[in-house]
Structure 1
Amino acid sequence: MLSQNPIVTFTILLLVILTLPPLFERLRLPGLVGLLVAGIILGGDGLKLLDPETETMKLLSDIGKVYLMFVAGLEIDLIEFKKHQDRSLGFGIATFLFPLLTGTLVAKIFGLGWNGAILTGSLLASHTLLGYPIVQQLGVVGNQAITVTIGATIFTDIAALLVLAICVSINAGNFSVISLVIQLGGLAIYSTIILWGFQWVGKQFFRRTTNQESNQFLFVLLVVFIAALGATLINVDQIVGAFLAGLAINDVVGKSPVKEKIEFVGSVLFIPCFFVDMGLLLDMSAFVNTFLTSFELTLSIIFGLLGSKFLAAFLAKKIYKYNWYETMSMWSLSMPQVAATLAAALVGLQEEILPEEIFNSVIFLMLVTSILGPILTARFASKISMPEVDFTSDNSLIWWESHQQVPDSFTERVDGIVNHKFVVLVPVYFSPEQTKYLIEMAVMLAKHEGGLMIPLSIVKGYLNMDSPELNLALQQSSKRLDSVLEISRSFEVSFISLAALVVKVTAKI
């Protein structure tokens, strides 16, 4: 059969990943919905071209599930979280507990046991920041309400995955007070090793392999799967280890090209395979039957999630004095249920903790929230007033302008630039490919006018940035400039390279 041939399976997956997500995005639907639909059409209820039980599909799906949770941890901005960690923790507890209690109550009303009911509640308690690119594009990521919501993701995801680990342990018959203490103790030791041990090892490795991006990429992959394997040794699901690995490596890779490579490989290959497999696992007859016969269950879960997430945002409004646009943005950002929710739901189904009706209802929930959340985020976040930049304050100055005397050599270089008849300034703050195109365009302009090209490397700084972080950021800036200078030297054009440490990138440029 074609579905048993690994080459055929892989070829079909590549074709699906290449074509369907862009098509659905043109229809203003999330690309992952297209992957789910592809799984349904190509699976046992459709064309039977893909089989979720084959070793190839299982492998790619498992890697995708692990990679998805790793990227979820990698994407969390720990610097922003540290700025408002108390409020992030407060909102995180609220937006975790309210949906947890609501989901547990709904599941109990519809006949689930306590273990399955609590796991159902935990599925609603986490959230996926699908709206993050929207608030980033709108320039309101620095707004406190947005930062608090992003930081709350750390607590909700870790807490939800911890509940999953306990529920799986209970289902396996290994639960007791002593076993719970042992489980939590083992998890605490394991988390410490991952979060601090792997972070320290990662920084040492990156420091010794500054110009070896391929080895750095392989090191990160190795860390992810060691962490996932280590989680299984303490009877915790792999996705817990993957998420913790993402938090640990977060500070190591920063905004480097290695992070771009990591996210690129995941987003174009492994993670889409996981979503296709989710579609393959959907029993369409049971899915339709759930919608027709358990319509009340599905609606209860959807409205329970929307109501409980809104209640948490409203509580944050009252305590922290946010306005309505900020409150509604917090609600819409914490609404989508994708990454941790789908991964945990699949584990619950495979461990036979959750019935198929709950799993299908969670798929409905994912579809509704992944569409509604970003739409509402775009609407409400656009109403948030952007913080005004004070160009006379230290925040908009490079670090030596406010704290040190400007060196004479630098002043001479700047005078030479100002007096030059034609200057092309190229901010080196983009991906390597974009930077290469910008440099080539700048070279052509400078050569045509007999002028000067200036590659400017921008180092994003923060007020609470410590010395190791600063050194790492400056090293990465130096690497970017070196790569640009290699390109520039191949052309006969005058150039001067500059580097600046700023808080507000656009203001400095």
Structure 2
Amino acid sequence: MEFFSHLPILTSFALTLMLTLVLPNLMERLHLPRPVGYILAGVLLGPNVLAILNPDGKVVGFFSELGKLLLMFFAGFEVNIAQFQRARNKAATFGILTFACPFIFAFGLAAALGYSNNACAVIGSILASHTLLGLPIVKDRGLMNLEATVVTVGATLLTDMLSIFVLAVCVPIHVRGFEPLGVLETIIWLAIYVPGIVIGLSWLVERLLRVFGTSRVSSALIMLVVMAAAAQVAEWIGMEGIIGAFLAGVSLKRAFGEFRSDDSLEIMSQALFIPVFFITAGFLVDFKVFFGTLAHQPLLVLGVLAALFGGKWLAAEAAGRLLGYNRQDRDLMFSLTIPQVAATLAVALVAYSTMNAAKERLIDQAMLNATVVLVIVSSLVGLILTQRAAGLVKKEPARAVSEEAVLTDVPSKAE
């Protein structure tokens, strides 16, 4: 495939756009989610097949990072603030359960396989978080204001924060040993950062909108600047940028409550940046690694998958029943929390690259390979199940009407 790797950049760009146009539409005709088409495009365009795109290229890397942040940003921006305020306790309940169940299962699996307690905690955090890959499907179905969706989106924030927090604690322990002050410092930063972003950015954006206006260009630039700043500050204090992007989305939703926001940035994100993020997930599909790990580490791979699916299902069932949700809502919550991409890969790659004085990695190559398999399988299965679950929820018009009625007494603007 050496011929394809030397194509002119505009030709490569045109082929990428063509595949992102054709394959997602083909997936829809096959009754599969559109993001599956993007991932398949990444497999074809990536280094293991045609090698048209360079995974280490600066442009691809920047577009992918921006797409990941925009995916989480619009997840926060789409949250119904009034409903989220009502559902915050439910989101916290589901967030704790959907983190704890797979974490405990994965910790037990890793301990049984001989990993250290520190490594077990990191492996647990790898499985405990999730990425809302299925959110575009839910949005297309008109279910963003469904309480089960709002609760799941809020739970995602908590699971990602807890996952990054575990990593932030375990990395220095592996390198230097346990330091109580380091753990305390991380907790203090979180306590300052979260309310600072949600409240402080809302105040700042309201004033920026009044100064620079609400034209398409001004609104889009303000969105990008605020998102990038929040993500960068999150990384400065040792968290993943996606947490900052999500909180920035929530902040702008509060600020834009007094203004009519433009959807130009979202259209561009859905057409280019977010698809590139899905495409780079397809780059991870190395068939030698995939089938080699399955052949040589079957118990590890099956155990990791079982811990993920079992833990996420148990959390959705327990939280759903506790909160009074029906079967369709519980299935939607379960399917949305299956995909493992953004925070999962971030934690796994950082843990693998972390070595102590004895040159021992925090997690080994076998676990990293199992994580790659986990990302591929969970993304595809999660998207398919989300498509199915969202379709079933959509068939309940009576519930949708009753939910809208509940919110009629709540102001549409942020307080």
The TM-score range, normalised by the shorter chain, is 0.7 to 0.9
TM-score normalised according to structure 1 size: 0.68
Per-residue CA distance 1:248-294 (angstroms, 9 max, x = gap):
22322359764522322222111221222222243321112122223
TM (norm. structure 2) is: 0.81
Moved more, 379-388 or 147-156: 379-388
Equivalent runs, 1:120-159 vs 2, <5 Å: 120-129=123-132, 145=148, 147-159=150-162
Alignment partner, residue 380 of structure 2: 367
Q: Does 1:237 align with 2:240?
A: yes
Q: Work out whether 1:53 is the aligned partner of 2:66.
A: no
Bigger Cα displacement from structure 2, 212-221 vs 110-119: 110-119
Say which structure is richer in helix: 2
User: Contact 1:9/1:56 (CA < 8 Å) preserved in 2?
Assistant: no
Among residues 72, 83, 87, which one is paired with 2:75 in the alignment?
Answer: 72
Aligned to 1:499: none
Structure 2 CA distance, aligned partners of 1:350 and 1:13?
31
SS of residue in 2 equivalent to 1:47: coil
Aligned: 1:247 with 2:250: yes
Instruction: Tell me whether 249-258 or 63-72 shows the greater mean CA deviation.
Output: 249-258
Q: How does 1:340-489 map to 2 (within 5 A)?
A: 340-342=343-345, 344-345=347-348, 348=351, 354=363, 355=365, 356-363=368-375, 364-379=377-392, 382=395, 386=399, 462-465=408-411, 469=414
Q: CA deviation at 1:357?
A: 1.6
1:191 deviates by: 3.0
User: Which secondary structure state, in structure 2, belongs to the residue aligned with residue 386 of structure 1?
Assistant: helix
Provide Cα deviations, 1:115-169, integer angstroms capped at 9, x if missing partner. Answer: 4433332233234455666667777766655554444333333333433444455
2:399 is paired with a residue whose SS is coil
For residues 305 and 21 of structure 2, the distance between their equivalents in structure 1, rounded to whole angstroms, comes to 31
Instruction: For 1:293-372, list aligned pairs within 5 A.
Output: 293-342=296-345, 344-345=347-348, 348=351, 354=363, 355=365, 356-363=368-375, 364-372=377-385
CA contact (8 A) 2:81 2:414 kept: no
Q: Distance in 1 between matches of 2:403 and 2:289?
A: 59
Question: C-alpha distance in 2, partners of 1:204/1:174?
Answer: 46
Return the letter of the residue paired with 1:465: P
Match of 1:207 in 2: 210
* Aligned counterparts of 2:37 and 2:204: Cα–Cα separation in 1: 39
Once residues 31 and 346 of structure 1 are traced to their aligned partners in structure 2, the CA distance between those partners, rounded to angstroms, is 27
Q: How many residues align?
A: 402
Report the CA distance shift for 1:270/1:345 in structure 2 as closer, same or farther (over 3 A): farther
- The aligned counterpart of 2:35 is 32
Name the residue aligned to 1:489.
none
Q: Which residue of 2 aligns with 1:219?
A: 222
Q: Deviations over 1:4-32 (max 9, x none)?
A: 76545434432332222222222222222
**Range 130-139 or range 324-333, more displaced:** 130-139
Would the alpha carbon gap of residues 234 and 150 (structure 1) be closer, same or farther in structure 2, given more than 3 Å must change? closer
Higher relative contact order at CA 8 Å, sep ≥6: structure 1 or structure 2?
2
Letter in 2 for 1:189: I
Distance 1:349 1:58, change over 3 A: farther
Q: Deviations over 1:34-56 (max 9, x none)?
A: 22222222333222222212222
Paired AA for residue 414 in structure 2:
E
Alpha-carbon distance, 1:369 to partner = 1.9
- Unpaired segments ≥5 residues, structure 2: 355-360
Asked whether 1:97 is paired with 2:100, we answer yes
Q: Distance in 2 between matches of 1:313 and 1:206?
A: 39
Query: Aligned pair in 2 of structure 1 residues 365, 202: CA closer, same or farther (>3 Å)?
Result: same
Give the secondary-structure state (helix, strand or coil) at the position aligned to 2:263: helix
More deviation, 380-389/83-92: 380-389
Instruction: Report if aligned partners of 2:82, 2:414 keep a CA contact under 8 Å in 1.
Output: no
Q: Distance in 2 between matches of 1:236 and 1:34?
A: 30
Q: Which runs of 5+ in 1 are unaligned?
A: 397-460, 471-509
In structure 2, what residue type is equivalent to 1:365? S
The structure-2 alpha-carbon separation of the partners of 1:278 and 1:128, relative to structure 1 and needing over 3 Å to count, comes to: closer
Give the match's secondary structure for 1:469. coil
Sequence identity percentage: 33
Q: What's the Cα RMSD here? A: 3.6
CA contact 2:94–2:315 (8 Å) conserved in 1: yes
SS at match of 2:307: helix
